Structure 1
Amino acid sequence: MSVKVLSVGGSIVAPEGPDVEFVKKFVSLIKQYLAEHKEDKLIFVVGGGGPARIYQNAFRAVTETSPDSSTEAADWIGIMATRLNAQFVKASFGDLCREAVVTDPTVAEEFTGSVLLAAGWKPGFSTDNDAVLLAEKFGAKTVVNLSNIEKVYTDDPRKNPDATPIDEISWADFRKIVGDEWTPGKNCPFDPIASKKAQSLGLTVICAGGKNLENIKAILEDKNYVGTTIRG
């Protein structure tokens, strides 16, 4: 049996509200994959996306706090959004996902279905870190991080026209890009806290575009794919 862990960005599942067409196609793809790979089990950790940002921004407006401020209250708001998104995706998988949404990766137990859904755990990091902890618990060697970017860039391409995409990068160099601090709602290719933990475990992380379904299938089947591989 092979267990694979995917951190599915909330911006893919719910960029503002739920992306019904994407979730339909995603669930169909995964059902097809599992029908062809009956020994595999998949864990999906779902982010907060648009609902998290909307409510976090509303909270900051009410309390007149800075978007860059790191507050436990803002983190909890984001965590609750991840749980709503994860419950939505779990329900969409029907009988393939038999267990409740995991909200504490350290106590997750073996699951009887082919799919397990997980969401945010506690303040201090994003769902990327939960994905890393689940990979550690279930013996997965790779975490697939699906977001709204196809590759990691040397810098933010929206701000720096000279930024270039990266095919493969070491953890040491990647962590220079994302830094060491987590702020609720922070937009980066892979959470800094998760990156530190993944490096310590010797995990490989693949960052890829979440809307490219054929590419996701290629990653799951260990075929050539478009994305950035972080390892070493």
Structure 2
Amino acid sequence: MSDTIILSLGGSIIIPGEVNTNFLKKFRTLILNYIKAGNRAVIVAGGGHVCRVYQNAANKILAPKKVSDLDLDWIGIKATKMNAELIRTIFSKEAYGQVIDNPTKKVSTSKKVIVGSGWLPNCSSDKDAVLLARTYRAKTVVNLTNIDYVYDKDPRKFRDANPLKQMSWKQMEKIVGSKWKPGANLPFDPVASKLAARLKLRVIIMNGTNLVNFKNFLAGKKFKGTIIG
């Protein structure tokens, strides 16, 4: 039975400093094998490191004035478009020919890979992934990020932070809050979380660099990650 999966691919994985070509080669192979089985992958690229570099530069240049959240968001959106164009290009003939930036409009295509970018301010590309799940009637969004699990508190600051293998959307809101901040480094966008909860979506958060683990998930096997919803 064919399936449509929505992937929110973190920009910090695409380009942690330099473009992560080794990861992208393996990711490409994995997705190509997935679509050969008749499935479809809708991939939304995040901004990640590139986004924050440009946002920090704008703040530094204009200091002591503060750059508006709206302008910072637009910088982030443009960063996702660059990353998305790279992802679309590496899938070549298997991908729809344009990066989509409006997740509420379904494109008419037989292509098995569709690549999207950020769309509008006041949220991250996580929300675009959730909107795409609604548009394409997908039940699951997989957030491929740089952490193995969501933790009950920041593991970089607290040694006693505990991984959460399963959680509710109410628990997620306690961790990420309810408001979006441009450039925020959170396990899942607060605005996206609210929408996903309303749509009763299942969201999986896992370390995207662990492609063996991701492959296990796609195959319906046991995997490491946090299940929300």
With normalisation by structure 1, the TM-score equals 0.95
Residue type of the partner of 2:180? W
Distance 2:43 2:103 in 1: 12
1:15 has 2:16 as partner: yes
Q: Which residue of 2 aligns with 1:91?
A: 89
**Match runs of 1:120-131 below 5 Å:** 120-131=118-129
In structure 1, runs of 5+ residues without a counterpart are none
Q: For residues 41-79 of structure 1, what are the alpha-carbon distances to aligned partners after superposition, in whole Å with 9 as ceiling and x for unaligned?
A: 010000011111100000111122688x76111110111
Residue type of the partner of 2:222? N
**Match runs of 1:201-216 below 5 Å:** 201-216=199-214
1:27 has 2:28 as partner: yes
Aligned residues: 228
Q: Which residue of 2 aligns with 1:59?
A: 58
Residue type of the partner of 1:21? N
Does the C-alpha gap of structure 1 residues 19 and 62 become closer, same or farther in structure 2, counting only changes over 3 Å? same
Does the C-alpha gap of structure 1 residues 65 and 44 become closer, same or farther in structure 2, counting only changes over 3 Å? farther
Is 1:17–1:50's contact at 8 Å kept on the other side of the alignment?
A: no
Distance 2:191 2:64 in 1: 23
Does the C-alpha gap of structure 1 residues 110 and 221 become closer, same or farther in structure 2, counting only changes over 3 Å? farther
**Match runs of 1:10-159 below 5 Å:** 10-35=11-36, 37-38=37-38, 40-64=39-63, 71-159=69-157
Q: Which residue of 2 aligns with 1:195?
A: 193
Find the residue that maps to 1:113 and give its secondary structure: coil
Q: For residues 53-110 of structure 1, what are the alpha-carbon distances to aligned partners after superposition, in whole Å with 9 as ceiling and x for unaligned?
A: 100000111122688x761111101110100000001100111102310111112323
Q: For residue 220 of structure 1, report the CA deviation from its aligned partner.
A: 1.7
Q: Which residue of 2 aligns with 1:217?
A: 215
Identity in percent? 43
Q: Which runs of 4+ in 1 moved over 4 A?
A: none
Distance 1:127 1:65 in 2: 29
Residue type of the partner of 2:75? I
Q: For residue 127 of structure 1, report the CA deviation from its aligned partner.
A: 0.3
In structure 2, runs of 5+ residues without a counterpart are none
Task: Using the TM superposition, name which of 147-156 and 103-112 deviates more.
Answer: 103-112
Residue type of the partner of 1:17? E
Is 2:139–2:202's contact at 8 Å kept on the other side of the alignment?
A: yes
Q: For residue 215 of structure 1, report the CA deviation from its aligned partner.
A: 1.1
With normalisation by structure 2, the TM-score equals 0.96
Q: For residue 170 of structure 1, report the CA deviation from its aligned partner.
A: 0.6
Coordinate RMSD, CA, aligned:
1.4
Residue type of the partner of 2:48? G
Q: For residue 34 of structure 1, report the CA deviation from its aligned partner.
A: 2.1
Does the C-alpha gap of structure 1 residues 184 and 66 become closer, same or farther in structure 2, counting only changes over 3 Å? farther
Q: For residue 17 of structure 1, report the CA deviation from its aligned partner.
A: 2.9
Does the C-alpha gap of structure 1 residues 216 and 110 become closer, same or farther in structure 2, counting only changes over 3 Å? farther
Q: Which residue of 2 aligns with 1:175?
A: 173
